[in-house]
Chains A and B, each alone.
Chain A
Amino acid sequence: MIKQLLGWVALAVAAVTMVVFLTSQQSDFKVTYAGSPGGSTTPSGGRGSATVPDTAELTRLLRTSPVVRLPGAIAQWDTTAVGAAIGDSGLRILVTPPGLDDASTQRVQQLKDADLRVIGTAVSTGTYAVTGTELADWRDQFATGDVTNDLLLLIAHLRERPEPVQKHLFSWRAPTAAETAVVAADLRSSGFHRGRGSTVTSAPRSSPAFPNGRALYVTLPLQPFGRPVPEYGPALVKLFPDTPIVVMYGAWIEYYGPHAADFAEIAAATFYSQAERVLDRLAYSQQGVLDTYLNRVTDVRFAGLFDRPLPYEPPDPLRVTRPALPWVFVACVVLFVALSLRPMVRPVWRRSRAVAAGTPAQLAALTALAVEMSALTDRRSEPALARALVTLTAARDASRDDLPDEHVRALLRDAEAELDRCARLLPYRGYRPAEYLNGRIA
């Protein structure tokens, strides 16, 4: 009974061990990927109030000239290249300012006479629109309002010509010493230079985008198309080493300074690829663009891509595995098997008790032993066997007469004791009831 209990306990321990082993194998540390304190990374606002003339007036304008620029339009392009692409096809282009109100947008979209519509810097045919895929596309578009490549692509599409090769007309120039000096002086005094025409009113005092929150900001308006743009970054890096420098041209932002190689392109690519769709046709303030850009840089920083550690914990097989548990499992199962071998493995710590639960079974088992021993007894052991036989017969009679079970069992115990005495007198081993019953009969 105790052995049986022990066996089942061993099995239960084995099962629990295995369950613990299998469920503990996962990386269970805490890590969050929502920890960036940056706010929205999509520019908000900018829903416009600009209007266009009514449809009749627009149609009249388009009929008089193949290219109509409404007041406030900012898009620019290489007129020679676009003119050559249009050729004699008579395609007409309507250019509107960014940030149209809903009615105006609808009017422009439904205008039959405009083959190409440029709202802000968003170019479309009404059915197809073009979006940039690379940083150079967005730089051309947002720093100088250049939409040449977009126009050429859509014209080729409309005229069913092969896709043109992209050419970037944007070029940098080194700023003059005088230009640099003005900017540097502002940066030294307030950390912020606002170029003439820029709409940024104040630079962020502190931003989680940068390691200690401090950066230098230079904001310039949309740059004139077709002329090289002064590249302040490298010149300022020399003057302000190890300082984050943000230079803004129109809606295009360049970063110089520490970690530039780690994140500048990544921040720009993720920011402009997401923001382009709204940035190009709506009139966002430079302030709004700068704020959302800084939020995006914050995200990149908190993703662990620069300045902060990568939130990475490699799976550690040893820590995760708890390799001792399978051995405990094996030991428990083997213990269970060994304990379930009760009839065959002789007990060493316990004298034999009834082999089978029932009295008749015990009676039969002892009888079998007595019959077998009767062939082996000699004069010395004969009396003990005879006493055992008598006792067994008495037990049989008691059992037949339905005497209390305790009485029958007491007789059986006596018989077993006699048989044991007899077996000890035999010259052979293995006949003592404890050994015989366990070794032979299950």
Chain B
Amino acid sequence: MTWLFPPSPAGPPSRRDRWLTRAAQIRRSLVSPFGLASIACLVLAGWALWTGGVFEGPMARQVRTSSVYAAPGTGLDVAAAERIIGNRRLVLVIVDPAAGRPGPICDALERAADGTLVLVLRPKPGGGWNKYGCAMFPGGGELMAIEGAISTGIQQFGDDPLSMVKVVAVNYDRLVRAGIMTDGPRTIHPYLPRYLAAGAAVLAVIIGSLVLWVAGRRTAKATLDRQERLQAATDGRAALSAAAAAVAQQIIDLDAKYRTGTPQFRRRYVALTDDYVTLLDDLDDRAAMPRVKELLARARRLAASDAR
């Protein structure tokens, strides 16, 4: 949108200059308010998607908002089981009889079932249940005791999963009253709001870019119009004024560093501005052009010295 180093009337820029230009441009766009806001928004979007469980499997996605996951074919009325478990910090996972070791299941549920006691059950071929517990809260050291206590009495209900769920719920309350489990409801982090947050962040970036783009187009158009008019006025004066504007732009860019610059920099900077305004004393195109070129070279040297 702004000319940092315009097409130079003072000869083609060196490779080093071009590189400096590009680096400065990138740095500028990154540290511009919009760049920073965009980066923050995209980080937020990524975080929201990650914690929203967009990369999780179907079991974790269900467990995130529900206390029960039952593999297809286990014959459990999941809705009724959810009502029975209610808001207890308890997650019941009933896996397929053919499922393998339950360890990975616990790993996969680590974030979705955070803060809960997860009980993984697998129907035994002859009736009854194989059980495996994992505590998703700090201090699950008494896990063996918890696992034993939470599943006391479920073997009776091998073919009646809903009654089994009731037994587990009663056992859970016993653990709470014994002080082994913390009382209170489970904290659920639904994924929908996370996705909404991610969407909002991305939307903000998109709309922001759009605003920038439209504004940039307007500016570019205005600049183009002005250049055309100048072209129509006089070619010589147009070149001079373009070059003069370039120097002005340089001076303005350097102004940001004026306060923090070394005394030598400040002296050179003020001298440059001085000599630049001196142009006004004699606006004859032919005489002024070499002076403008010389000023531009000085401005770039000054900018380069600062870049170092």
Contact A430 B225 (CB under 8 A): yes
Whether B244 and A368, one on each chain, are in contact in the complex, defined by CB atoms closer than 8 angstroms, is yes
Distance to closest chain A CB from B37 (angstroms): 6
* Any B CB within 8 A of the CB of A105: no
Interface string of A379-399 (1 = CB under 8 A from B): 000000000010011011001
- CB A275 to nearest CB in B, in angstroms, measures 10
A371 to B292, CA, bound (A): 11
Within 8 A of B (CB), among A276-316: 296, 299-300, 302-305, 310-315
Min CB–CB distance A411 → chain B (angstroms): 11
Q: Report A-chain residues with C-beta under 8 Å of the C-beta of B87.
A: 27, 29, 31, 311-313
Residues in B neighbouring A312, C-beta threshold 8 A = 82-87
Distance (Å) between the CB of B271 and the closest chain A CB?
9
Interface residues on B, range: 35 or more
Does A358 lie within 8 Å of B244, measured CB to CB?
Answer: no
From the candidates B83, B249, B259, B270, name the one contacting A310 in the complex (CB within 8 A).
Answer: B83
Q: Which residue of B lies closest to A334 (CB)?
A: B207
Q: Is A274 on the interface with B (CB-CB < 8 A)? A: yes
How many Cβ-Cβ contacts under 8 Å join chain A to chain B?
290
Among B54-62, B69-77, B101-109, B210-218, the stretch that binds chain A is: B210-218
Q: With A41-B174, A340-B32, A371-B283 as known contacts, state yes or no: A442 contacts B252, CB within 8 Å.
A: yes
Q: Find chain B residues with CB under 8 A from A34 CB.
A: 173, 176-177, 183
A343 touches B1 (CB 8 A): yes
> Is A330 an interface residue, CB under 8 A from the partner?
yes
Q: Which of A167-175, A218-226, A265-273 contacts B (4 or more CB under 8 A)?
A: A265-273
Q: Which residues of B contact A340 (CB under 8 A)?
A: 32-34, 37
Complexed CA–CA distance, A36 and B169 (Å): 13
Binding site for A on B (CB under 8 A): 1-2, 32-34, 37, 41, 44, 48, 65, 82-88, 128, 152-157, 163, 166-167, 169-174, 176-177, 183-190, 192-194, 196-197, 199-201, 203-205, 207-208, 211-212, 215-216, 218-219, 222-223, 225-226, 229-230, 233-234, 237-238, 240-241, 244-245, 247-249, 251-252, 254-256, 258-259, 269-270, 273-274, 276-281, 283
11 A-B pairs (CB sep. < 8 Å): A266-B166, A299-B174, A317-B193, A329-B201, A333-B201, A357-B255, A360-B269, A363-B277, A367-B279, A399-B274, A440-B223
Additional 8 contacts, C-beta under 8 A, given A27-B188, A305-B84: A305-B169, A340-B34, A344-B219, A361-B258, A368-B249, A372-B245, A375-B234, A392-B277
- Taking Cβ atoms with an 8 Å cutoff, the residues of A that contact B are 7, 11, 14, 18, 21-22, 25-27, 29-34, 36, 41, 133-135, 263, 265-267, 269-274, 296, 299-300, 302-305, 310-315, 317, 320-323, 326-327, 329-330, 333-334, 336-338, 340-341, 343-345, 355-358, 360-361, 363-365, 367-368, 370-372, 374-376, 389, 392-393, 395-396, 399-400, 428, 430, 439-442
